[in-house]
Amino acid sequence: MKSRILICVLAALVLLVSACGGTSNDTSGAREPSRPGGATSGQGSGQSGQSGQGNAAANDEPGATAPPAPTGQAEPPDKISTFALDVDTASYGYARGTINAGRLPDPAQVRPEEWVNAFRQGYPEPPGDGFAVRLDGARGAAEGTALLRVGLQTRTADAAARRPANLTFVVDVSGSMGDPGRLDLVRDALHTLVDQLGPGDQVSIVSFSDQAKVRLSMTPVSERHDLHAAIDTLATEGSTDLQAGLVTGYEEAARAFRPVATNRVILLSDGLANTGDTTWQGILDRVEEFAGRRVTLLCVGVGREYGDTLMEQLADHGDGAAVYVGSQQEAREVFVERLPANLDLRARDAKAQVAFNPATVESYRLLGYDNRALAAEDFRDDTKDGGEVGPGHAVTALYAVRLRPGTSGQLAVATVRWQDPDTREPAEASRALEVGGLSDRLWETAAPRLQVDAVVAAFAQRLRHAEDEMFTEDLGTLAGHAERLSAATEDPMVRELAGLIRRAGSLR
- CB 411 within 8 Å of CB 145: no
Eight-class DSSP state of 209: S
Residue 399 lies in a domain: no
Q: What is the mean pLDDT of the chain?
A: 85
d(CA 22, CA 8): 22
Residue 341: predicted pLDDT: 63
Average pLDDT of the residues in 322-350? 86
Residue 327 lies in a domain: yes
* Helix/strand/coil (H/E/C) assignment for every residue in 27-51: CCCCCCCCCCCCCCCCCCECCCCCC
- CB 463 within 8 Å of CB 110: yes
Q: Which of 95, 442, 464, 491 is closest to 482 using CA atoms?
A: 491
Average pLDDT of the residues in 167-195? 93
Eight-class DSSP state of 373: B
Residue 197 lies in a domain: yes
Eight-class DSSP state of 61: S
Which residues are paired to 361 by β-bridges?
403
Residue 285 — pLDDT band, cuts 50, 70, 90?
confident
User: Strands of 320-324's sheet, edge to edge?
Assistant: 212-220, 202-208, 165-172, 262-269, 295-301, 320-324
d(CA 279, CA 297): 17
Q: Is the pLDDT of residue 415 over 50?
A: yes
Residue 332 lies in a domain: yes
Q: Tens digits of per-residue pLDDT, 58-90?
A: 344 444 444 444 333 444 546 999 999 999 999
Residue 256 lies in a domain: yes
32 class by beta-carbon count within 10 Å (0-12 exposed, 13-18 middle, 19+ buried): exposed
Residue 467: predicted pLDDT: 79
Residue 194 lies in a domain: yes
Q: Tens digits of per-residue pLDDT, 214-230?
A: 999 999 999 999 999 99
Residue 378: predicted pLDDT: 97
Provide the CA 291 distance to its chain's centre, in angstroms.
19
d(CA 119, CA 264): 25
Residue 41: predicted pLDDT: 39
Q: Is the pLDDT of residue 366 over 80?
A: yes
Give residue 269's domain range: 159-342
| Segment holding 189, helix H or strand E | helix 183-196
| 159-168, 287-296, 302-311: which is most confident | 302-311
Q: Tens digits of per-residue pLDDT, 382-406?
A: 999 999 999 999 999 999 999 999 9
Residue 56: predicted pLDDT: 37
Q: Which of 186, 283, 191 is closest to 240 using CA atoms?
A: 283
Q: Which of 2, 134, 1 is closest to 56 using CA atoms?
A: 134
Q: Is the pLDDT of residue 318 over 70?
A: yes
DSSP 286-355: HHHHHHTTTEEEEEEE-SSS--HHHHHHHHHHTTEEEEE--SHHHHHIIIIIITGGG-S-SEEEEEEEEE
| Segment holding 266, helix H or strand E | strand 262-269
**End-to-end Cα separation, the chain, in angstroms:** 82
Looking only at the bridges linking them, the beta strands covering 165-172 and 262-269 are: parallel
Residue 78: predicted pLDDT: 63
Q: Is the pLDDT of residue 25 over 80?
A: no
d(CA 129, CA 19): 36
Q: Tens digits of per-residue pLDDT, 437-461?
A: 999 999 999 999 999 999 999 999 9
Average pLDDT of the residues in 359-372? 95
Q: At 244, which CATH number?
A: 3.40.50.410
Q: Which of 17, 136, 137, 129 is closest to 63 using CA atoms?
A: 129
Residue 501 lies in a domain: no
The tally of domains found in the chain comes to: 1
**Rg for the chain, CA atoms, rounded:** 24
d(CA 502, CA 10): 68
Q: Which of 255, 266, 163, 267 is closest to 218 using CA atoms?
A: 255
Least confident piece of the model among 277-281, 288-292, 499-503:
288-292
More confident residue, 285 or 403: 403
Percent of the chain at pLDDT above 70? 84
- CB 56 within 8 Å of CB 437: yes
CA torsion 14→15→16→20, rounded to 10°?
100
Percent of the chain at pLDDT above 90? 68
Provide the CA 405 distance to its chain's centre, in angstroms.
33
| 8-22, 33-47, 284-298, 398-412: which is most confident | 398-412
More confident residue, 163 or 119: 119
Residue 32 lies in a domain: no
Residue 339: predicted pLDDT: 80
Looking only at the bridges linking them, the beta strands covering 202-208 and 165-172 are: parallel
Residue 14: predicted pLDDT: 33
d(CA 264, CA 344): 10
Q: Is the pLDDT of residue 163 over 70?
A: yes
Which residues are paired to 352 by β-bridges?
83, 416
| Helix, strand, coil % in the chain, rounded to nearest 5 | 35, 25, 40
Number of other CB atoms surrounding residue 406 within 10 Å: 6
Q: What is the pTM of this model?
A: 0.84
* Helix/strand/coil (H/E/C) assignment for every residue in 459-504: HHHHHCCCCCCCCCCCHHHHHHHHHHHHHHHCCHHHHHHHHHHHHH
